[in-house]
Structure 1
Amino acid sequence: MPKRAKKNEEATGDTEKQSETGPEKKRGKAAKEPEAPILYEDPPDKLVSVEGKAANLKITSWNVDGLRAWVKKNGLEWVRKEDPDVFCIQETKCAEKALPAEIKDMPEYPHKYWACSEDKEGYSGVAMLCKVKPLNVSYGIGKEEHDKEGRVITAEFPSYFLVTAYVPNASRGLVRLGYRQTWDVDFRAYLKDLDQRKPLILCGDLNVSHQEIDLKNPKGNKKNAGFTPEEREGFSALLAEGFVDSFRHLYPEQQYAYTFWTYMMNSRSKNVGWRLDYFVLSRTLLSALCDSKIRGTAMGSDHCPVTLLLAL
């Protein structure tokens, strides 16, 4: 989502007032101590599928909120430790000609693919870094009104498609909600077509918290971008086509598991967040699913990375 639209109180719902630290003057009582935040702890990785097969594919996705700044914050060091087979990036905000040398020269990922905004410098952008060369790579979803913003890369591998996406935000005041609804319909049709050919993995910043459990303040955000009924219904419609939210499939009742925190109001330290980053799978891949992770301690962006483990 466009950051200037997303990183504000209205768009993120970070409307909790800071707790007073001084005495309550009216009643002469000591102020109530603020409650300690409940943080999500990523459990140990599950490395075996329900069929007993060992994980052999690791994919990581991260909205880096500006690739050049993220590199300076040592984001690549974390990626090297995580060591995914494919690393998908959203919101690069960087034209291919301006890519940092550090990421262009990564020998671990000899096959690198970039999609950038055609009209706006420093806006949107996605990338995919692969250890193994895909059979085919395409950009966009075949509709100019969407593709000019550099939001989708699709890689075809022998047994699956991998799509990384940076879904457009409805923006402050919901001025792009109508466009977002059009996107949802067109993107869903694109994914359905791929799924008819071979199983699909979709990852990225999908710019929606699907259920109330997926954000800290659901009641105050029903009219804000990322949690409107229209956006949530769009995600529900995608799942109804035979796709699965891998994290919720494995952890249906897990609370406080977020992937985005606004920079304001110390939201990350208080865990006032949203789950906006996903791995969505074709239902036929569930037998291969080992784990879907939220790496909440990884720093360098206002989002944290998410990682998928499959046994294919």
Structure 2
Amino acid sequence: MKFISWNIDSLNAALTSDSARAELSRGVLNTIIDLDPAVLAIQETKLSPNGPTKKHLDILNEKFPDYKRVWNSSTEPARKSYAGTMFLYKNHLNPMVSYPEIDAPNTMDAEGRIITLEFDHFYLTQVYTPNSGTNLVRLKERQIWDEKYADYLTALDEKKVVIATGDFNVAHKEIDLAHPRRNRLSAGFTDEERQGFTNLLAAGFTDTFRYLHGDVPEVYSWWNQRAKTSKINNSGWRIDYWLVSDRAADKVLVSEMVDSGMRQDHTPLLFEMALD
């Protein structure tokens, strides 16, 4: 089966804005459509608590006519039009859908950060991991999130093979970002966040990109859009992942970045696996 994951940084902007960046986003969507995934996972939808509007749905129906949709939006007491996730999956698929809460701190459980699809022989779950924020104001809460999320995946793994994707908001090792020394105390590359990801993998999960490609350098999934030359110079970070249960790693066929052209921010991730 073929899957794609993408932090879209506002579904509304990608579908309805007239900006130059939105045009680039729609180009990426067209690339995804051409790849024809069985499932598309989208993070940072930034939709209202009511989810997509009729206009959004009409456009999605036009672009993805053979797909069903489920979403999880940020709701009170969390900020509105913040975070959020969505799955689009082929009409012939009939997974059980859940919107897990993991006993995360503050408003994190209300921010629409996780959706899980349960199939007969595996779970497919996506996450938009909380960012530790400017001056690391959310780092302690992020550490608790990492522990709770690892517990959640481990519980799923006891029942079926787990495929987990999304924006994990951490560059795991120095090879996973262009300037590790410069960013040692930046959100997404603190010792605490990196250790949290190490702990997650140690709980029984495989980073499929590294499993297939080894320590290939200078391959990233995110480039800062505030730095105009970040993508031209490939000053990026690898913070988006496809993980699988260790026992299923040998079934992974493809785990790679999709070319998003000149669009900065996140690029989609393509994943293929031999599944029953």
Counterpart check, 1:216 vs 2:178: yes
Counterpart check, 1:279 vs 2:242: yes
Higher mean alpha-carbon deviation, 168-177 vs 91-100, is at: 91-100
1:126 aligned residue (85, 107, 120): 85
TM-score w.r.t. the length of structure 1 is 0.78
Q: CA deviation at 1:196?
A: 0.4
- The 5 A counterparts of 1:103-252 are 103-118=60-75, 119-131=78-90, 132-143=92-103, 145-252=107-214
Aligned length, in residue pairs: 256
Partner of 1:79: 32
Partner of 2:229: 266
Amino acid at match of 2:150: R
Amino acid at match of 2:14: W
CA deviations 1:277-299 (Å, max 9, x no partner) are 10011011112111101113345
Unaligned 5+ runs, structure 2: 16-21
| Contact kept in structure 1, 2:33 and 2:63, CA below 8 Å | no
Partner of 2:269: 306
CA deviations 1:234-277 (Å, max 9, x no partner) are 00000101100000111122101001001114101111000011
Partner of 1:65: 9
CA deviations 1:137-172 (Å, max 9, x no partner) are 001334364320110000001111001110000011
CA deviations 1:174-202 (Å, max 9, x no partner) are 00000100100100100000000000000
In the alignment, the residues of structure 1 paired with residue 127 and residue 3 of structure 2 have an alpha-carbon distance, to the nearest angstrom, of: 14
In the alignment, the residues of structure 2 paired with residue 208 and residue 182 of structure 1 have an alpha-carbon distance, to the nearest angstrom, of: 15
Q: CA deviation at 1:301?
A: 5.4
2:257 aligned residue (275, 282, 294): 294
Aligned with 1:178: secondary structure? helix
CA deviations 1:181-234 (Å, max 9, x no partner) are 010010010000000000000000000000000000001111110000000000
In the alignment, the residues of structure 2 paired with residue 284 and residue 198 of structure 1 have an alpha-carbon distance, to the nearest angstrom, of: 10
In the alignment, the residues of structure 2 paired with residue 79 and residue 159 of structure 1 have an alpha-carbon distance, to the nearest angstrom, of: 26
Aligned with 1:234: secondary structure? helix
| Contact kept in structure 1, 2:10 and 2:46, CA below 8 Å | yes
Q: CA deviation at 1:77?
A: 1.4
Q: 1:236 to 1:267 in 2, by over 3 A?
A: same
| Contact kept in structure 2, 1:63 and 1:90, CA below 8 Å | yes
| Contact kept in structure 2, 1:125 and 1:166, CA below 8 Å | yes
Amino acid at match of 1:83: D
Amino acid at match of 2:110: K
Structure with higher Rg: it is: 1
Unaligned 5+ runs, structure 1: 1-56
Partner of 2:19: none
Partner of 1:34: none
CA deviations 1:71-98 (Å, max 9, x no partner) are 3421431221111100000001112143
Report the structure, 1 or 2, having the larger strand content. Answer: 2
CA deviations 1:104-154 (Å, max 9, x no partner) are 454544321101110322210100000043331001334364320110000
Amino acid at match of 2:254: D
RMSD: 1.6
- The 5 A counterparts of 1:9-48 are none
